[in-house]
Chain A
Amino acid sequence: MLEIIVKIFPYAIAFTIPLLITSLGGLFSERSGVVNIGLEGLMVIGMFSGALVIARTEGAYPGISIWLGLLAAVVCGALFALLHAFACVSLNADQVISGIAINMVAGALTVYLARNMTGSGNIHIINGLKRLNIPVLSEMPILGKLFFTGTYATTWVVLAILGLSAFILYKTRFGLRLRACGEHPHAADSAGVNVYLVRYIAVAVSGACAGLGGAIVIVTLSGEFNGSAAGMGFLALAALIFGQWKPHGILGATFFFGLASTIANVSQAIPQLAQVPAIFLKTFPYIVTLIALVLSSKSSQAPRAAGQPYDKGKR
C-alpha cells in the first residue's frame, strides 16, 4: 500500500498545486466581496500567455523561459481580471454573468489568436519544468519520499504564496480591510476604506493567481495549450467552498480533490485501486462540496457581502 502511495503521491501533488493557487485567487476575490466564477477562463488566459511566451523564448533563453512564461501568465491573468473588476465594481454588473462572460471570452479569444499563429490552435512547449530532489530533506524516511523527492519548483513557490497570503489576509491592515469589504462594505467605507479600490486589487490578484495556476498546468502537467482548462477552474471553485473560504481549508480541500482525481486517473494501471469505481472518484469533489453546502447552510462561512455590488447610497 505504501508503495502505491509513494508512487502516486508526486502526481497528486502536481495536480493539487495549480488547483490550490487558483483556489487561492478565488479566495482573494470572494473575501473582498466579488464572486469570481471566471477562474476557469482566467486559467485559460494564463495557459495561453504562458505557453506562448515559453514557446517563443525557449530557443533563445532555455534557462529562464519557463519563468518568463509564468510571469507573463501572472500579468495577463491580472489584466484580464480587470475586465471582471470593471464590470462588477465600477458598473455594479451581475457578478455571475460577468464571470461567465470572462470564461467564454477567454476560451474563444485565446483559441482565435492561437489559430492565427499555429493553425491548429494548439501551442506546444518543448521543455516542461524538471522535477528535482531537495538535497537533505529527501533522505528522510517516508516523508522524504513523499514530499521532497521529484518535486517541482513551482510547488514550493505556490506554497510560499499561500503562506504569504494567509499572513497578508490575517495579520496586516490591508488583509483586514479586504475581509471587511467582503463582510460589511458599508462599515469598511465609513471607517475610511476605499471599497472600490480594495475590490479592484483583490480581483486583479485573483486573476494573477489563476493565470499562474493555468501556466503551471502547462509547464508541469500538459505541455501544450489547447484552449481549455478542462474544468480545473470550477474544481478550484468547489475547493474554495469546501475549504470554507480559508487558506488552510483550501489547502486541505485541493489536496483531497487532487488525490481523488489522481487515483481515478491511474486506477486503470494499478490493480489494487481498480476496485474503486473511477466515476465515484471523479464526481467525489463535487458531491462532497454539495454536501458541505447543505451541512453549512445554517452556519455558512461565506463572505456575507459576496455577490452583491457595493452601492454607496444604499443603507
Chain B
Amino acid sequence: MRIKLNSQYFLSLVAVILGLAAGAVLMAATGKNPLEGYLYLFRGGLMNLERIGNSLATATPLIFTGLSVAFAFRTGLFNIGAAGQMLIGGLCATAVGLTLAWPKPLLLTAIIIASMLGGGLWAALPGWLKARFNVHEVVSTIMMNWIAYWAVFYIIPLHFKGPYLETESRRIPEAASLKIPWLTSLFNGSYINLGIFLALIFVVLSAFILNRTVLGYELKAVGFNRHAAEAAGINVNRNIIFSMSIAGILAGLGGATFYVGYASNMQIGVLPSHGFDGIAVSLLGANSPWGVLAAALFFGLLHTGKGFMNAMISIPPEIADTIIATVIYFAATSVLVERIWSRYRQKRASALALKDKGKAETGTGGAV
C-alpha cells in the first residue's frame, strides 16, 4: 500500500514537472525567456505578505472544489458539477448577504449554511438520479452546471441588480463579507479572508470522515467495488446520494468563499473555472484531502503570480491556465510515465539479478 501511495504522488510530481516544462516550451516558442518568466511567476505569488495573502485567497475556493471532486472520486463518482454547485452556493450566500441585516457573526453563519444547503441540494439531484435511475453523473452534472449558469444569469439581474451594470449583483455589505479587518491588515490589504480557515477545517474534517468513520469506510467501499459493497450489506444507493451531497456541500462552500470572500459581488455569464481546476487539484492530490490542500496552494500561487509576470515581462497570463491544463493532460496520460518507469525498473532489476547471480556463482566457486 505504501508503495502504491508513493508512486501516485510520484506520478503527480512528474505531471507537474512536465506541465511546467510544457509551459517553458510555450514561452520559448513565443519568444520569451522561460527562466525569467517562472522567476516572475513565483515572485508574483510570494514576494510579499500581500501577495502571499492573495495566493492563499485564490487557493481557498480551489481547496473546496478539489475536496469536492476528491470526495466523490473516493466513492467512484466523477463530480464535474463543482462549478455549478459553486455558483448555486455563491448565489445562496449572496442572496442571504444582500437580504438579511443581521450582526456579522450571525449573518456569516447564515451565509455559510445557505451556501452548504444550496450546493448540497444541487448535487444531491444528480446523486439521486444516479442511485435511482442509473443516470451517469458525468452527464447529469454537466447539465446541472449549465442550468446553474442560466439560473444565475437571470436571477441576479432580476432580484439583486447592481446600480451601474446589468451584468453584476450589488456589492454585499461589509457585515456579509468573509473578509475581516485584522486579517486584511495583517496581510497588507490582500484578498485573504476567513475562507482559508474554513478550508483548513474542512480538509481535516474530510480526512477524518474518509479515514476514521463508518460513513467514510462505506463510501470508499462503494468506490472500490460497488457489488462487493452491496454484498457486504452496505446500502450503495444511499451512499451514492450521500457522497454527491457532501461533494456539493464542499463546492457550495467554495462558492461562498469566492463570491462573498474573495469577491464582493456576483458576475453573471461566467461559469467559474474552479470547477474544472478542482478536477486538476484532486487528480494531482491523489484524491486525498492533504494532497488536495497542497495542489490547491500550488495552483493558487500560479494564478496569483500570473498577473505580476504579465506586468513585468508581458507574457500573457493564460500561461498559468495552460500549465494547469497540461498538468491534467499529463496526469490523465500518466500511464505512459508508468510504463516507461516500470520498464526501466524491470531492466534495472534484471541487470541487478544478473549481477547477483554472477556474484553468487563466483561465491560458490570460491568455496569449492
- Which of B45-53, B103-111, B151-159, B292-300 makes up part of the contact surface? B151-159
The size class of the interface chain B forms with chain A is: 35 or more
- Closest B residue to A295 by beta carbon equals B133
Assess the A94–B318 pair: CB atoms within 8 A. Answer: no
* Chain A residues within 8 Å of B154, by CB: 277-279, 282
Residue A255 at the chain B interface, CB threshold 8 Å? no
Residue B147 at the chain A interface, CB threshold 8 Å? yes
Option from B26, B142, B147, B324 in Cβ contact (under 8 Å) with A37: B142
Residue A149 at the chain B interface, CB threshold 8 Å? no
* Chain B residues within 8 Å of A290, by CB: 129, 135, 140, 143
Residue A109 at the chain B interface, CB threshold 8 Å? yes
Q: Knowing A112-B322, A289-B143 are in contact, say whether A98-B138 is a contact too (CB < 8 A).
A: no
Assess the A103–B138 pair: CB atoms within 8 A. Answer: no
Assess the A105–B140 pair: CB atoms within 8 A. Answer: no
Residue A18 at the chain B interface, CB threshold 8 Å? no
Residue A82 at the chain B interface, CB threshold 8 Å? no
- Closest A residue to B310 by beta carbon equals A115
CB contact list, B97-122 vs A, under 8 A = none
Option from B147, B271, B328 in Cβ contact (under 8 Å) with A97: B328
- Which of A153-161, A173-181, A232-240 makes up part of the contact surface? A232-240
Option from A100, A116, A278, A297 in Cβ contact (under 8 Å) with B135: A297
- Which of B175-183, B188-196, B329-337, B356-364 makes up part of the contact surface? B329-337
Q: How far is the CB of B126 from chain A (nearest CB, A)?
A: 9
| Cα(A103)–Cα(B80), bound, Å | 13
The size class of the interface chain A forms with chain B is: 35 or more
Residue A129 at the chain B interface, CB threshold 8 Å? no
Assess the B332–A294 pair: CB atoms within 8 A. Answer: no
Q: How far is the CB of A101 from chain B (nearest CB, A)?
A: 4
Assess the B276–A104 pair: CB atoms within 8 A. Answer: yes
| Cα(A290)–Cα(B141), bound, Å | 10
Residue B325 at the chain A interface, CB threshold 8 Å? yes
Assess the B332–A87 pair: CB atoms within 8 A. Answer: yes
Assess the B322–A105 pair: CB atoms within 8 A. Answer: yes
Assess the B335–A93 pair: CB atoms within 8 A. Answer: yes
* Chain A residues within 8 Å of B149, by CB: 231
| Cα(A81)–Cα(B30), bound, Å | 23
* Chain B residues within 8 Å of A37, by CB: 80, 138, 142
Residue B139 at the chain A interface, CB threshold 8 Å? yes
Interface of B is mostly: helix
Residue B173 at the chain A interface, CB threshold 8 Å? no
- Closest A residue to B280 by beta carbon equals A104
Q: Knowing A97-B332, A100-B279, A279-B150 are in contact, say whether A293-B139 is a contact too (CB < 8 A).
A: yes
* Chain A residues within 8 Å of B136, by CB: 293
Assess the B30–A116 pair: CB atoms within 8 A. Answer: yes
Option from B146, B147, B321 in Cβ contact (under 8 Å) with A104: B321
Contact mask for chain A residues 104-115; partner B; CB cutoff 8 A; 1 contact, 0 none: 110111011101
Q: Knowing A101-B325, A108-B322 are in contact, say whether A286-B332 is a contact too (CB < 8 A).
A: no
Option from A83, A121, A287, A297 in Cβ contact (under 8 Å) with B316: A121
* Chain A residues within 8 Å of B325, by CB: 101, 104-105, 107-109
Contact mask for chain A residues 275-314; partner B; CB cutoff 8 A; 1 contact, 0 none: 0011100110011011001100100000000000000000
| Cα(A297)–Cα(B30), bound, Å | 49
- Closest B residue to A83 by beta carbon equals B329
* Chain B residues within 8 Å of A231, by CB: 146, 149, 271
Residue A241 at the chain B interface, CB threshold 8 Å? yes
Residue B7 at the chain A interface, CB threshold 8 Å? no
Residue B266 at the chain A interface, CB threshold 8 Å? no
Contact mask for chain B residues 125-136; partner A; CB cutoff 8 A; 1 contact, 0 none: 000010001111
Residue A172 at the chain B interface, CB threshold 8 Å? no
Contact mask for chain A residues 186-228; partner B; CB cutoff 8 A; 1 contact, 0 none: 0000000000000000000000000000000000000000000
Assess the A91–B333 pair: CB atoms within 8 A. Answer: yes
Contact mask for chain B residues 239-281; partner A; CB cutoff 8 A; 1 contact, 0 none: 0000000000000000000000000000000010000100110
| Cα(A101)–Cα(B322), bound, Å | 10
Assess the A97–B331 pair: CB atoms within 8 A. Answer: yes
Assess the B133–A87 pair: CB atoms within 8 A. Answer: no
* Chain B residues within 8 Å of A127, by CB: none
| Cα(A126)–Cα(B111), bound, Å | 48
Residue B62 at the chain A interface, CB threshold 8 Å? no
Q: Knowing A104-B321, A235-B146, A290-B135 are in contact, say whether A116-B332 is a contact too (CB < 8 A).
A: no
Contact mask for chain A residues 44-77; partner B; CB cutoff 8 A; 1 contact, 0 none: 0000000000000000000000000000000000
Contacts beyond the supplied A108-B324, A115-B316, A115-B318: 5 A-B pairs with Cβ under 8 Å: A101-B332, A108-B321, A234-B146, A290-B129, A297-B135
Question: What would be 6 A-B contacts, judged by CB atoms less than 8 Å apart?
Answer: A93-B335, A97-B328, A111-B316, A112-B318, A112-B322, A282-B150
10 residue pairs, one from A and one from B, having the closest CB atoms: A104-B325, A108-B321, A115-B316, A101-B329, A279-B154, A112-B318, A286-B143, A108-B322, A282-B150, A297-B133
